[in-house]
Amino acid sequence: MNLKGRNFLTLKDFTPDEILYLLDLAADLKAKKKAGTLLTDMHAGKNIALIFEKTSTRTRCSFEVAAHDLGIQTTYLAEGSQMGKKESIADTARVLGRMYEGIEYRGFGQEIVEELAKYAGVPVWNGLTNEYHPTQMLADMLTVREHCGKLKGVKLVYFGDARYNIGNSLAVVCSKLGLNFTACGPKAYMPNAALLAECEAWCKESGGSITLTESIEEAAKDADVLYTDVWVSMGEPDEVWAERIHDLEPYRVTMDVLKKAKKSAIFMHDLPSFHDMKTKIGKEIGEKFGIKEMEVSDEVFECDQSVVFDEAENRMHTIKAVIAATL
Ligand code: CP
Ligand code: NVA
């Protein structure tokens, strides 16, 4: 398998074998990290640029630690870069492509990361756009495989707003790798028809399936994985909170929902999560709307079946695999 020079913009561009190769590489890199094996010679002397137009903890730290472990220097670009304000995406891409061996982008529309990739001349990695979050998916699949022992045939249920980056990306990766993906939420919150048609085609190859349902009973029955995400994503206006809470509150992942799933089911969340009132936004919104928790109850978040911190750790090992394979 040779992924050198490839962009990593969405998993739609990768075959199931390529995705599994990245998961195996990540598992190997994780084992080496735990064993204390140094890999700083692997890409020694290289430089990568990390563009963040939205905030981040996991993705930024994963890129920085992974790069450092591989001998790579990083430059963090957020506030203060000219991109999009005084300089076009295409010009920025051509400048950075002269100085760096790879570029990570987190921000708004998928078309921005596609444009960067078109002009950079070096690999570009998507660190989250409104539409897709592909590095998150590798971490999620590694975590599912570690806990469920397999990927094919696993029933993964996503509760909430399935139209955004996490819902879309889970639909893609599950259909490519043969999982049974269920999106559970109101009809208006489902991935769009064009994406679903692509997913159906991948399911035919992989043996996976896509189910859309409003029924929590149907969704949770026999589920191996319950997954949710924030109700309002980065970059969305504050005005949507009222509608989201109204529409999505019935789909909060609570102990009642978890009990409807398999006994061995795990709970996953890409994080950050509003599971209590210990965050500034969580507290403000909670007080305004009279709720104490949002997409997941604190009880589920903190229970033994919750694997959210394994998932967060796996962001680093999987991002390392992407960098190692594409540079
Ligand atoms: N899951 C995730 O992408 O986390 P950050 O926003 O902290 O990077
Ligand atoms: N849907 C969330 C994912 C955060 C990792 C957002 O875009 O804010």
The architecture (CATH level 2) of 11-132+314-326 comes to 3-Layer(aba) Sandwich (3.40)
In tens digits, what is the pLDDT along the chain, a chain of 327 residues?
999 999 999 999 999 999 999 999 999 999 999 999 999 999 999 999 999 999 999 999 999 999 999 999 999 999 888 988 899 999 999 999 999 999 999 999 999 999 999 999 999 999 999 999 999 999 999 999 999 999 999 999 999 999 999 999 999 999 999 999 999 999 999 999 999 999 999 999 999 999 999 999 999 999 999 999 999 999 999 999 999 999 999 999 999 999 999 999 999 999 999 999 999 999 999 999 999 999 999 999 999 999 999 999 999 999 999 999 999
Whether a cis peptide bond, with omega within 30° of 0, leads into 272 is yes
Shortest-distance ligand to the CA of residue 308: 1
All structural domains of the chain with their residue ranges = 11-132+314-326, 136-313
Ligand 1-lining residues (CB < 6 angstroms): 56-59, 128, 136, 270-272
CA of 123 to the centre of ligand 2 (A): 23
Enter the tokens of residue 87: 């300089």
Ligand 2-lining residues (CB < 6 angstroms): 128, 164-166, 229-230, 233-234, 270
Contact 141, 170 (CB under 8 A): no
Judge if 11-132+314-326 and 136-313 fold alike in CATH terms.
yes
In CATH terms, the fold of domain 136-313 is Rossmann fold (3.40.50)
Residue 147's contacts (CB-CB under 8 Å, 6 or more residues apart) are 266, 307, 310
Enter the tokens of residue 203: 């399911």
Residue closest by Cα to atom 3 of ligand 1: 59
Distance CA 110, CA 119 (A): 15
CA of 233 to the centre of ligand 2 (A): 5
User: pTM to 2 decimals?
Assistant: 0.98
**Residue 257's closest CA among 303, 209, 309, 189?**
303
| pLDDT reported for residue 177 | 99
**Residues 23-41, buried b or exposed e (16+ Cβ, 10 A)?**
bebbbebbeebeeeeebee
Pocket test for ligand 1, best of 51, 55, 56, 166 (most atoms within 8 A of CB): 56
SS (H, E, C) the chain: CCCCCCCECCHHHCCHHHHHHHHHHHHHHHHHHHHCCCCCCCCCCCEEEEEECCCCCHHHHHHHHHHHHCCCEEEEEECECCECCCECHHHHHHHHHHHCCEEEEECCCHHHHHHHHHHHCCCEEECCCCCCCHHHHHHHHHHHHHHHCCCCCCEEEEECCCCCHHHHHHHHHHHHHCCEEEEECCHHHCCCHHHHHHHHHHHHHHCCEEEEECCHHHHHCCCCEEEECCCCCCCCCHHHHHHHHHHHHHHCECHHHHHHCCCCCEEEECCCCCCCCCCHHHHHHHHHHCCCCCCECHHHHHCCCECHHHHHHHHHHHHHHHHHHHC
Beta-ladder partners of 306: 267
Shortest-distance ligand to the CA of residue 318: 1
| pLDDT reported for residue 79 | 81
| pLDDT reported for residue 54 | 97
Distance CA 212, CA 186 (A): 9
Contact 124, 102 (CB under 8 A): yes
